[in-house]
């Protein structure tokens, strides 16, 4: 793989039917999922090289950079990269062993290891236990990911990036330098660092005996992708690594898409089946569930999940995975079709209004209220 561009992010560098499985709350799901024995705290033995920055804002913008939207600063200027570096440094100091206790999951032939990074991100190391070949999804902090690779004794063959944002792609450069045969996969529509293998929608990639399918899910960014691990060969449910499309009880902000675009991406993900395990890009469960409880006051599934999440976080335990089936019972971003949520928002479908257009209007209102909730 070639060096990271010295310019602000631009273009990338490289040329199932639903299953009727009742949704179950995670407190029940986790009892059925085969947890691996916990690994010890990984010692971060390897020091990654400093990543190069990229161009400063043009001269005419210097001195009034504060006028740029915060998102543009983060995603398109050197200041965003420097902010990411500061995030990494502060998180390593505050959470020397990660913000959550790692809870590996094992199925015959595959191991999924969540790696808590930064202050609330997750990277995921997915291992073919037969060949010891592995892939990592969204390596935010290369030091933490490398420590997990060494602790597990595996060979890193692939990096799957859901999108370009530094808190999901910032480790690509350093890991590629350490693992010469590693390939970086993602959408060519996003400026993903070190991208070697641009993927098309529905394209599949194999790593050992693991098969990942890339699904284009624009909205958060124009090139956002999610990755679905086929669980069939291992007797497990499908596993959705959702990046910033979908969180437990939440979803990402549509920075580069419309409510209609985000709704279509969420509907695509929900078509994977209710038993699909959701592995999100962030630990946002408490915030999202608390917000959702303000919208639907009489949702018993939501109340039960919130109580469970409070207990998990008090013990510094991760709240992932959930399932897509249970997400439909409490995630307001997935309940735009539910009359109880529409009534709570004071929204009703207009005469002659297309259903999806109305659902996009509901989604937009939920997003607006969530943004206001975060700001208070």
Question: Phi, psi (5° rounding) for residue 119?
Answer: -90, -20
Q: How far apart are CA 227 and CA 240, in angstroms?
A: 6
> Does the annotation mark 282 as catalytic?
yes
Q: How far apart are CA 163 and CA 194, in angstroms?
A: 12
Q: How far apart are CA 51 and CA 193, in angstroms?
A: 11
Q: Which residue do the tokens 């998180």 mark? A: 91
User: Catalytic one among 220, 224, 230, 275?
Assistant: 220
> Does the annotation mark 163 as catalytic?
yes
> Does the annotation mark 179 as catalytic?
no
> Does the annotation mark 337 as catalytic?
no
User: Catalytic one among 128, 138, 167, 275?
Assistant: 167
Least Cα distance to 16 among 171, 292, 215 occurs for 215
Q: What phi-psi label fits residue 219: left (phi over 0), alpha (psi between -120 and 50 degrees) or beta?
A: left
Q: H or E stretch including 266? A: helix 259-270
User: Catalytic one among 99, 165, 179, 224?
Assistant: 165
Least Cα distance to 164 among 193, 122, 135 occurs for 193
> Does the annotation mark 168 as catalytic?
yes
User: Catalytic one among 99, 179, 224, 282?
Assistant: 282
User: DSSP secondary-structure letter at 11?
Assistant: S
User: Catalytic one among 99, 163, 179, 224?
Assistant: 163
Angle between helices 300-314 and 285-295 (to 10 degrees): 150
User: Catalytic one among 128, 141, 168, 190?
Assistant: 168
> Does the annotation mark 99 as catalytic?
no
User: Catalytic one among 138, 141, 244, 275?
Assistant: 244
Q: How far apart are CA 291 and CA 310, in angstroms?
A: 14
Number of H helices, E strands in the chain: 12, 15
Is residue 195 within 8 Å of 183, Cβ to Cβ? Answer: no
Catalytic residues: 163, 165, 167-168, 220, 244, 282
């Amino acid at each position: 793989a070639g060096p990271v561009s010295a310019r602000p992010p631009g273009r990338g560098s490289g040329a199932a039917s639903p299953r009727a499985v009742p949704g179950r709350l995670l407190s029940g799901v986790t009892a059925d999922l085969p947890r691996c024995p916990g690994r010890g705290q990984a010692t971060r033995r390897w020091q990654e090289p400093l990543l190069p920055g990229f161009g400063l804002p043009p001269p005419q913008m210097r001195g009034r950079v504060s006028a740029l939207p915060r998102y543009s600063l983060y995603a398109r200027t050197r200041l965003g990269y420097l902010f990411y570096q500061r995030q990494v440094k502060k998180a390593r100091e505050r959470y020397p062993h990660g913000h959550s206790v790692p809870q590996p999951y094992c199925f015959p032939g595959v191991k999924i290891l969540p790696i808590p990074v930064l202050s609330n991100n997750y990277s995921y190391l997915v291992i073919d236990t037969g060949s010891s070949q592995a892939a990592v999804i969204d390596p935010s902090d290369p030091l933490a990911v490398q420590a997990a690779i060494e602790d597990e004794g595996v060979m890193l063959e692939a990096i799957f990036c859901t999108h370009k944002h530094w808190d999901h792609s910032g480790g690509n450069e350093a890991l590629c330098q350490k693992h010469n045969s590693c390939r970086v996969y993602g959408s060519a529509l996003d400026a993903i660092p070190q991208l070697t293998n641009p993927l098309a929608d529905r394209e599949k990639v194999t790593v050992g005996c693991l098969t990942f399918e890339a699904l284009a899910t624009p909205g958060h960014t124009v090139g956002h992708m999610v990755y679905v691990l086929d669980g069939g060969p291992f007797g497990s449910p499908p596993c959705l690594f959702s990046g910033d499309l979908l969180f437990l009880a939440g979803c990402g902000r549509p920075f580069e898409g419309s409510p209609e675009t985000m709704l279509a991406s969420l509907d695509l993900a929900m078509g994977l089946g209710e038993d699909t395990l959701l592995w999100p890009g962030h630990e946002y469960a408490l915030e999202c569930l608390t917000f959702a409880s303000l919208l639907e006051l009489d949702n018993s599934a939501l109340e039960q999940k919130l109580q469970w999440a409070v207990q998990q976080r008090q013990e510094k335990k991760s709240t992932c995975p959930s399932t897509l089936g249970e997400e439909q019972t409490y995630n307001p971003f997935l309940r735009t079709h539910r009359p109880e949520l529409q009534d709570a928002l004071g929204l009703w479908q207009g005469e002659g209004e297309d259903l999806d257009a109305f659902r996009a209007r509901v989604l937009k209102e939920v997003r607006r209220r969530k943004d206001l909730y975060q700001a208070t």
